[in-house]
A and B are shown apart, each in its own frame.
Chain A
Amino acid sequence: MRVTSVSILSEEVEAIRFDLRSTTAKSQYIIRNIAGLDADEIIPKFYGFSKDGTKRFYDFKLRQRELVLRIVMNPNYRLGETNSDIRDNVYRAISATRSGLLDLDFHSGGSTVARISGHITKFEAAYFSNEPELQITIQCNDPVFRGITPVILGPSDIPDANPIIIADDISTAPHGFSMKVSITGTLADFTIQDKAADPEWDFKIIPATSFLSGDDLYFSSEFNDRYLYMIRSGVTTHLLDRIEPTSVWPTIFPGGSQFHFSDIASFDWDNIEFHAAYWGV
């Protein structure tokens, strides 16, 4: 991932921005180092076998990420700024809102490519040095860097026939996705699998009574925002209890993934959405 600048935001309001390519005398803050941007320790966890029992599936996880930013303060003395003034700006960012959550946005030129969120857990200031520095530590519950703007595929972007190939050339880590479909026929089940025949995995929803024409089905396998429900005649029915226990949740891998949907002629696409994900910067 190419990154040219980093900014710290509180409730979408930018508090500090660091330029990584060049610093000028006007730069209030100069970043010395950001530790914790790499993937560090990746933990493989076995979670199941393929349907024929020949392959083991592993999930790869990172521990909670801790980012440590070393910042040099560079007040504009001609404008009357002091170290104290611009240090206070950073202090204010610790808890400028009730959530106290900060976003670290990584920019490439004019576009924001990834974001990670967390709380400041440590603030260290070197008060009596020639080059006044700050060191802040940000604890991030979700260790994966994620794209801000979702990739949205509309009905015209998704074919009506299998296989459905979702390309993702920007992510470096696997991630979930969300989708909405409108059912147009009667379906006893709704199944997603990796291949047309002899699939290695499948994800099968068997409702108490069949899906009917007019039902809208909503699905998400996004991190910390998983859901599965349908809306029939304005009534929402959650369906996690109707997922066959051997099911494997569909995931999009870096480069893209291929899915086969059962009875694909019996529903219309509304959209498929996902956020790119990155192990590190």
Chain B
Amino acid sequence: MELFKYNSASTFLGGEAINGYDSVAWTERYREPGDFEIVAKLSSGLRDFLPEGTLISHTKTLDVMMVENHQIKEDTDLDPTLTITGRSFQCIAEQRIVGQNWNWASPPASLAVSAYVLGANFTWIQAAELLNEHLETGTVIMSGDAVPLVSADHSVSGTGESEERTLARGTVLKHLLEILEIDDLGCRVLRRNNFSSLPGSNTETIFLIHDGDDKRKNIIFSTKNGDIDSADYLWSMKRMKTSALVTGKFVETMVHGAETGLSRRVMLVDGGDLDGHLETIPTGGTLTAIRAQMTIRGNQALSAQKRLALSRIDVSSTPTYEFRRDYNMGDLVSVDSSYGPLTTTRVVEHVEIVDETGESAHPTLEILEA
């Protein structure tokens, strides 16, 4: 793993080597933005070499991360240390607010706070649309909102629920994560590249909405083969709900699941943003529309739940399979544990660590079915 910084962040070209650090932890995640931590001596000069806002990556990955923090720690017993941290490039979506995509230079006289609506479609298309409408050159209305040479796309096939989605004001990243959670999708960054065996584009950096590949038949982590150092599993129904009460300022809607009696477990969902702009109790068509939006909100909250509360599988440092060669972020792989039959897991995190003892890496696998 050789870290580099983009000398030309606007073109995603010019990767210059980063030398002189003591340790690096580089974490990529399926849905949430990944993060990194570089620890170096203050005398390394990396604070000047990697100013806040610098885009970095490493030679084995297509992910791109942004330097966000510099921390200097002084201790009377030690050489001052510099810790540089940041997150995956998706964090740029935290700097865009849903609904900002208007022509603010000459807004219509009647422009009032209005809901941002994604037309009925699959979640993967809506997620890409949400990003493009706030970041992509030619799609944003105010050109200054665009991040040059960046766009969003998806690689998901098949069908799913197709419904209209009304988003409250909030960061694009927050709403992106909510939409991705509905169908258990992830978001990868594919830096500009022309590597024939890898996805991406030679002209731009892409946010790719994806659901991984199904490699359960080929990739089987097994305790018997020594692939797994340790594993912890916890199944819990404690937070599992079967119905949702969506509550706004004037309107409430109950979304019932099929379960009744002992199996009915109700959650409370905030729908205040859907009718919060009204001054009086809505009636007629307005009431019907708000109830429909609240029903969608309730169904989304119910479907976003997972039965599993916690799982952790530590893969051996000399595994049978190699990340990025045999499997990738978000892929479905099997775990042959000693407690039962083959378990389907998703690769949700991968951590690479470089320190004085060399490189090490391990994935985190999340169990998908009980």
Identify the A interface with B (CB < 8 A): 43, 45-49, 53, 56, 59-61, 63-64, 99, 141, 206, 208, 224-229, 237-247, 249
Contact = CB atoms under 8 A, between A and B. Distances in A.
Interface stretch (B55-63, B136-144, B166-174, B226-234): B55-63
29 contacts: A45-B360, A46-B319, A47-B358, A49-B325, A56-B318, A60-B358, A61-B358, A99-B43, A206-B195, A208-B192, A208-B194, A226-B2, A226-B17, A226-B19, A228-B17, A238-B14, A240-B2, A240-B59, A241-B4, A241-B12, A241-B15, A241-B57, A242-B193, A243-B2, A243-B59, A244-B195, A245-B59, A245-B195, A245-B324
A240 B194 contact: no
Main secondary structure of the interface of B (DSSP, over half): loop
B13 A237 contact: yes
Contact of B357 (A61, A224, A226, A249): A61
B19 A224 contact: yes
Contacts of A53: 325
- Tier of interface size on chain B: 35 or more
Given A56-B318, A224-B20, A242 B358 contact: no
Given A227-B17, A228-B17, A241-B57, 6 more contacts: A61-B356, A238-B14, A238-B16, A241-B12, A245-B61, A247-B59
A238 B195 contact: no
Contacts of A225: 19
Pairs of residues from A and B, 3 with the lowest C-beta to C-beta distance, nearest first: A241-B15, A45-B358, A240-B15
A41 to B, nearest CB: 9
Interface string B10-45: 001111110110100000000000000000000100
Contact of A245 (B6, B43, B62, B192): B62
B356 A240 contact: no
Contacts of B19: 224-226
Nearest to B198: A245
A277 B2 CA distance: 21
Nearest to B1: A47
A238 B15 contact: yes
Nearest to B79: A119
A276 B151 CA distance: 47
B359 interface: yes
A241 B13 contact: yes
B303 interface: no
A63 B357 contact: yes
A241 B191 contact: yes
Interface in B202-216: 202
Contacts of A243: 2, 59
A46 B318 contact: yes
Contacts of A47: 358-359
B356 A63 contact: yes
Most chain A CB inside 10 Å of its own CB: which residue of B20, B43, B59: B59
B162 interface: no
Contact of B359 (A59, A206, A229, A244): A59
